[in-house]
């Protein structure tokens, strides 16, 4: 196992014997201490750098003194997630987990609405059901700050090298990633990966076939047909549905800018700001629907993408806002829910409102088009 993990030393999460050193680096990282101080100490204390850092260092040493293993880290994360769920959601519900084998490694492919919350809530569901948490795919574009890299790799995240640009370098990185995913799954470790690069900012959850072709790179090396190899991966689609779209205004701003200027360039620290907003903002009711492992014959990446999409669209939980934005007048909407949605929409700048409405409407329109369902709630 050591040899296997050494092959992936530059992308894999930390092992038990690396946890203590990583925590020490975090405790001595002034940028990390400053962020913790900013959100946890009164302003008059956090403004005094050396004092704030000394206080936070002392607290972290005390809190993390017994954290020695990856499992200990997961228990700490679960404790934090429990507080976050209670503070920022009205409820988090799950379906489909009871049909999964807790001793099996699965490749969870989910729609992507929030940078960190999506995999965090998948893990929350697994943790609640006494199942092993996943290893999380995360793009290296998010790892520009040392303490973010430490936190992610401590939390079972592995690195997707999106910054590789030269064809040979890109193929090497994708081949390594494909092999790492396969070796993780066959050794009983589940994986989470988003269905495409970047969040769905327009409300359309659609799997990128290029992602699935990456998975097959290792299968090709093993001289296995696409359909045969994919069955081995135990792909489970996951539909994540937020009552209130995370970072809706920021997503709409990006879409608006692209529409009017052709492209959008992120400012420094924008991804970190999105992570913080995703964690701190109200999300209402969140539902995660875990699908069935795909065992049907999908002989190409395009076929598999359609199969994943169908499960995600079929099982996507529609909230009142989805029905309202989608123009479904037959749905039974609680007056309080309708008023809350109208209140949130009123806070959206007028020029962005059609884009935000579309985010909520798209899942309803796609679901009713694919399933030809009635709009009874």
pLDDT for 271:
86
Query: Collapsing DSSP states into helix, strand and coil, what is residue 297?
Result: coil
Instruction: Give me the pLDDT at residue 321, please.
Output: 97
Give the mean pLDDT of the chain.
93
- Which has the closest alpha carbon to 196: 101, 339, 312? 312
Q: What are the contacts of 312-315 at 24+ separation with CB within 8 A?
A: 312/110, 312/111, 312/195, 312/205, 312/207, 312/237, 312/238, 312/239, 313/205, 313/239, 313/363, 313/366, 313/367, 313/370, 313/371, 314/367, 314/370, 314/371, 315/95, 315/96, 315/237, 315/239, 315/289, 315/291
* pLDDT score, position 84: 95
- 282-291 mean pLDDT: 97
**235 pairs with which residues across the strands?**
107
Q: How far apart are CA 32 and CA 244, in angstroms?
A: 29
CB atoms within 10 A of CB 250: 15
Query: Any bridge partners for residue 93, and if so which?
Result: 287
126-160: pLDDT as tens digits: 999 999 999 999 999 899 899 999 999 999 999 99
State pLDDT tens for residues 236-254: 999 999 999 999 999 999 9
For 105-120, the pLDDT digits (tens) are 999 999 999 999 999 9
- What does the pLDDT read at residue 144? 87
Q: Is the pLDDT of residue 5 over 60?
A: no
Question: How do residues 307-364 score in pLDDT, each as one tens digit?
Answer: 999 999 999 999 999 999 999 988 889 999 999 999 999 999 999 999 999 999 999 9
Q: With a cut of 70, say whether residue 1 has pLDDT above it.
A: no
Residue 375 reports pLDDT greater than 60: no
- DSSP 8-state secondary structure symbol assigned to residue 269: T
Q: How confident is the model at residue 176, as a pLDDT?
A: 97
What is the model's pLDDT at position 373? 40
Would you say 199 and 69 are in contact if contact means Cβ atoms under 8 Å apart?
A: no
Answer whether residue 17 shows pLDDT above 90.
yes
pTM confidence score: 0.93
Tell me, what's the pLDDT at 370? 57
Q: State how far the alpha carbon of 295 is from the alpha carbons of 103, 223, 289, 359, in Å.
A: 18, 19, 18, 31
| Token pair in block for residue 201 | 């900012």
């Amino acid at each position: 196992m050591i040899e296997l993990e050494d092959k992936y030393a530059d992308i894999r999460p930390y092992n038990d014997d690396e946890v203590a050193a990583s925590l020490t680096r975090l405790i001595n990282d002034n940028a990390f201490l400053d962020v913790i101080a900013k959100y946890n100490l009164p302003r008059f204390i956090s403004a005094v750098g050396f004092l704030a850092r000394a206080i936070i260092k002392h607290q972290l040493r005390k809190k993390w003194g017994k954290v020695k293993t990856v499992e200990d880290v997961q228990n700490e994360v679960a404790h934090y997630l429990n507080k976050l769920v209670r503070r920022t959601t009205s409820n988090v519900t799950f379906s489909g987990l009871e049909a999964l084998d807790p001793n099996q490694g699965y490749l969870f492919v989910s729609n992507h609405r929030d940078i960190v919350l999506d995999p965090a809530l998948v893990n929350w569901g697994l943790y609640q059901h006494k199942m092993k948490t996943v290893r999380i795919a995360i793009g290296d574009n998010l790892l520009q700050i040392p303490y973010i890299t430490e936190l992610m790799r401590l939390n079972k995240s592995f690195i997707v090298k999106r910054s590789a640009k030269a064809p040979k370098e890109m193929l090497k990185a994708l081949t390594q990633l494909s092999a790492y995913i396969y070796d993780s799954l066959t050794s009983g470790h589940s994986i989470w990966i988003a269905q495409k690069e970047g969040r769905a900012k327009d409300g359309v959850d659609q799997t990128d076939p290029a992602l699935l072709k990456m998975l097959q790179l290792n299968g090709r090396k093993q001289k296995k047909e696409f359909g045969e190899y994919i069955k081995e991966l135990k792909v489970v689609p996951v539909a994540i549905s937020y009552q209130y779209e995370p970072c809706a205004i920021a997503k709409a701003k990006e879409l608006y800018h692209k529409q009017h200027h052709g492209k959008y360039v992120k400012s420094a620290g924008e991804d970190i700001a999105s992570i913080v907003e995703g964690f701190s903002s109200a999300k209402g009711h969140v539902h995660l629907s875990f699908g069935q492992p795909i065992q049907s014959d999908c002989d190409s990446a395009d076929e598999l993408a359609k199969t994943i999409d169908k499960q995600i669209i079929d099982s996507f939980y529609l909230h009142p806002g989805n029905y309202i934005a989608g123009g479904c007048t037959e749905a039974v909407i609680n007056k309080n829910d309708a008023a809350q949605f109208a209140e949130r929409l009123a806070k959206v700048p007028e020029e962005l409102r059609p884009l935000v409405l579309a985010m909520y409407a798209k899942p309803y329109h796609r679901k009713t088009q694919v399933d030809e369902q009635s709009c009874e709630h």
